[in-house]
Amino acid sequence: MAGGRARPGRGTATATPAAEPGRRAGFRAEFAEGIREARRHPWFLAGLAALVAVIALGYSATSVALP
């Protein structure tokens, strides 16, 4: 080691303690957190709305054309 500095990827590995299993949040809490995260990304909501529209129009066209 030149100058007392370790090169990246070299040296002794430091052991990190394993994450202790804790209590998980309930379904409602995780769902609410997901909704809050989705609201912070407008592109996600726009993409989701476009996907819903395409699927709805596709199923409606299939329902009319196939029977």
> From CA 50, how far away is CA 60, in angstroms rounded?
15
Q: What is the pLDDT of residues 7-45, one digit of tens each?
A: 655 656 566 666 666 787 799 999 999 999 989 998 998
Question: Of 29, 28, 48, nearest to 38 (Cα)?
Answer: 48
| pLDDT of res. 61 | 86
Determine the angle formed by the axes of helices 42-65 and 27-39, rounding to 10 degrees. 100
For the chain, strand residue ranges (E) read none
